[in-house]
């Protein structure tokens, strides 16, 4: 479905943005590709608002140029399907000027000669991007250069039920110091499983901890905690270390053996996983910050103080003492097409990425901000306390690689998770199986490091 939206306001281009103005006065139509997404309508809406602002700037400067945004709104069920549709449109010459996309498709967009390199644009408009959280730039790089602008962010972490810790006999100092110990590399992934097993053995919890029951990116933060870097930036290829993968599977095997992790967890439904934690049966769970609302309701919590008295957030701890903890973020991004309108399209993206418009999106959709300063804004202070609390965690964030076959990669490594947790394979056999499957299915797209 296509829907054309004309910007009502007219504007003039300020001196600082004059370099993006067309040579002659004219009406410029910028095409914007975006999924029809009720959960994030301002991803497209902020671009259209930016066009209205830009037109007001043109008018104030006495310029005749006006910008119109044509919204190409698709009915794709998810970002992967949407990205494939976008690439098909590009292949037949219907290239949009701006696209809203999941960041991991940037590599494919670059190779298809759709995405414009934004390094010069970012450098020329440095003040407009100066406050963006630095780690988020890693999500839009391909072969070391930036081909997108972060549109929003999130954080995925480990949730801990403090009341279960208290019932186990842990004091308030233990609870309040837990995140600091994780960040210092003192509390490891094995300590996590030992703590969860203690919760079960003491009778304080029915389950130690739970994770998602199916394939998905959450497992990447656990892999990263064991030193697994799944992407080679220079070669733009996926990679795996055999020794790191075996360490990861040995940890899962340890967690099942000590009773902290249900052996049949990969057969559960999502409802069962959510209920295990939200009903107070499980000490821990790893998932995402968007769970906060449901947790507030399930635990009958009324404010931030009550929430953090009940629950603690930690990164995925380091695989071994002295290592670095990790978490995961999966930003949605703006990509500018390599079209004749790319300069003015990039300026619309820059304007839509400023604190006020991005905050309108973030607080209404439970996304962490892209700019540090947003956390000080009244809207965040009033409605986004959880998002404010999650923002510092982005310093430890990992991102899905910008590679088209990351979905296959995750699916293959998840087969190893299932095999180890159910006892069908030893960690060593699961590692060998997964490596072999990667070599067969991914071929030259994956590097086997050892």
Q: Is the model's pLDDT at 6 over the cut of 50? A: no
What digits encode the pLDDT tens for the residues 166-214?
999 999 999 999 999 999 999 999 999 999 999 999 999 999 999 999 9
> Residue 1: what pLDDT?
38
Asked whether residue 134 falls in the same domain as residue 93, the answer is yes
Average pLDDT over every residue of 380-406: 90
Does residue 368 contact residue 155 with C-beta atoms inside 8 Å? Answer: yes
Asked whether residue 296 falls in the same domain as residue 164, the answer is yes
Output the six-digit token pair for 255.
Answer: 């967690």
Interatomic CA distance for residues 312 and 316, integer angstroms: 13
Average pLDDT value for the chain: 92
> Residue 355: what pLDDT?
97
To 10 degrees, the CA torsion angle through 25, 27, 29, 30? 40
Asked whether residue 299 falls in the same domain as residue 172, the answer is yes
Residue 363 within a domain: yes
**Domain end point (choices 281, 310, 328):** 328
Helix axes 242-257, 427-441, angle to 10 degrees: 140
Instruction: Give, for 282, the enclosing helix (H) or strand (E).
Output: strand 282-288
What digits encode the pLDDT tens for the residues 237-272?
999 999 999 999 999 999 999 999 999 999 999 999
Structural domains in the chain (count): 2
Asked whether residue 341 falls in the same domain as residue 282, the answer is no
What digits encode the pLDDT tens for the residues 316-357?
999 999 999 999 999 999 999 999 999 999 999 999 999 999
Higher-pLDDT residue of 11, 408: 408
pTM score over 0.75: yes
**Domain end point (choices 328, 356, 384):** 328
Interatomic CA distance for residues 115 and 125, integer angstroms: 19
Residue 391 within a domain: no
Asked whether residue 205 falls in the same domain as residue 349, the answer is no
> Residue 23: what pLDDT?
42
Interatomic CA distance for residues 169 and 204, integer angstroms: 10
Asked whether residue 341 falls in the same domain as residue 321, the answer is no
Closest CA to 161 of 201, 205, 194: 205
Average pLDDT over every residue of 357-378: 92
Instruction: Give, for 417, the enclosing helix (H) or strand (E).
Output: helix 406-421
Residue 416 within a domain: no
Residue 66 within a domain: yes
Residue entry with tokens 């991102």: 399
What digits encode the pLDDT tens for the residues 113-129?
999 999 999 999 999 99
Residue 383 within a domain: no
Does residue 32 contact residue 98 with C-beta atoms inside 8 Å? Answer: yes
Residue 417 within a domain: no
Structural domain span for residue 84: 3-147+330-367
Asked whether residue 320 falls in the same domain as residue 337, the answer is no
Phi, psi of 165, rounded to the nearest 5 degrees: -60, -40
Q: Percent of the chain, pLDDT > 70?
A: 94
The CATH number covering residue 318 comes to 3.40.190.10
Q: Is the model's pLDDT at 97 over the cut of 60? A: yes
Phi, psi of 70, rounded to the nearest 5 degrees: -100, 115
Asked whether residue 86 falls in the same domain as residue 124, the answer is yes
Asked whether residue 21 falls in the same domain as residue 43, the answer is yes
Q: Is the model's pLDDT at 98 over the cut of 60? A: yes
Asked whether residue 196 falls in the same domain as residue 109, the answer is no
Closest CA to 337 of 89, 158, 142, 167: 89
> Residue 18: what pLDDT?
42
Confidence of residue 17 (pLDDT cuts 50, 70, 90): very low
Instruction: Give, for 316, the enclosing helix (H) or strand (E).
Output: none
Asked whether residue 234 falls in the same domain as residue 270, the answer is yes
> Residue 258: what pLDDT?
98
To 10 degrees, the CA torsion angle through 162, 166, 169, 170? 40
Residue 251 within a domain: yes
> Residue 8: what pLDDT?
30
> Residue 25: what pLDDT?
56
Asked whether residue 291 falls in the same domain as residue 166, the answer is yes
Residue 432 within a domain: no
Average pLDDT over every residue of 378-407: 90
């Amino acid at each position: 479905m296509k829907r054309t939206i004309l910007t009502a306001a007219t504007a003039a281009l300020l001196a600082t943005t004059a370099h993006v103005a067309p040579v002659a006065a004219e009406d410029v139509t910028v095409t914007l590709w975006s999924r029809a997404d009720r959960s994030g309508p301002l991803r497209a809406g902020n671009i259209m608002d930016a066009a209205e602002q830009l037109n007001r700037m043109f008018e104030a400067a006495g310029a005749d140029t006006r910008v119109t945004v044509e919204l190409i709104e698709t009915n794709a069920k998810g970002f992967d399907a949407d990205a494939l549709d976008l690439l098909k449109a590009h292949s037949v010459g219907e290239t949009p000027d701006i696209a809203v996309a999941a960041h991991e498709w940037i590599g494919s967009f670059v190779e298809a000669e759709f995405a414009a390199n934004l390094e010069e644009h970012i450098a020329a408009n440095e003040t407009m991007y100066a406050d963006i959280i630095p780690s988020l730039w890693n999500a839009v790089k391909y072969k070391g250069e930036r081909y997108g602008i972060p549109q929003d962010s999130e954080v995925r972490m480990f949730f801990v039920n403090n009341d279960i810790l208290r019932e186990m006999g842990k004091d308030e100092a233990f609870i309040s110091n837990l995140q600091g110990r994780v960040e210092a590399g003192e509390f490891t992934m094995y300590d996590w499983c030992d703590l969860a097993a203690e919760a079960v053995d003491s009778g304080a919890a029915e389950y130690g901890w739970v994770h998602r029951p199916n394939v998905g990116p959450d497992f990447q933060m656990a892999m990263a905690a064991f030193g697994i870097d799944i992407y080679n930036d220079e070669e733009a290829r996926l990679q795996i270390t055999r020794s790191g993968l075996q360490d990861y599977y040995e940890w899962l095997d340890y967690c099942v053996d000590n009773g902290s992790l249900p052996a049949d967890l990969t057969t559960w439904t999502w409802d069962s996983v959510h209920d295990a934690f939200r009903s107070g049966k499980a000490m821990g769970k790893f998932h995402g910050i968007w769970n906060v609302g449901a947790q507030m309701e399930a635990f009958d919590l009324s404010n931030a103080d009550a929430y953090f008295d009940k629950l603690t957030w930690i990164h995925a701890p380091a695989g071994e003492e002295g290592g670095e903890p990790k978490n995961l973020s999966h930003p949605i991004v703006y990509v500018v097409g390599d079209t004749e309108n790319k300069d003015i399209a990039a300026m619309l993206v820059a304007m839509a990425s400023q604190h006020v418009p991005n905050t309108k999106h973030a607080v209404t959709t439970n996304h962490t901000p892209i700019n540090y300063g947003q956390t000080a804004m009244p809207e965040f202070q009033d409605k986004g306390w959880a998002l404010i609390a999650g923002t510092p965690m982005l310093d430890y964030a990992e991102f899905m690689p910008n590679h088209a076959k990351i979905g296959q990669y995750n699916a293959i490594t998840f087969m190893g998770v299932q095999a180890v947790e159910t006892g069908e394979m030893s960690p060593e056999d699961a590692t060998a199986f997964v490596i072999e499957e990667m070599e067969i299915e991914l071929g030259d797209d994956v590097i086997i490091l050892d």
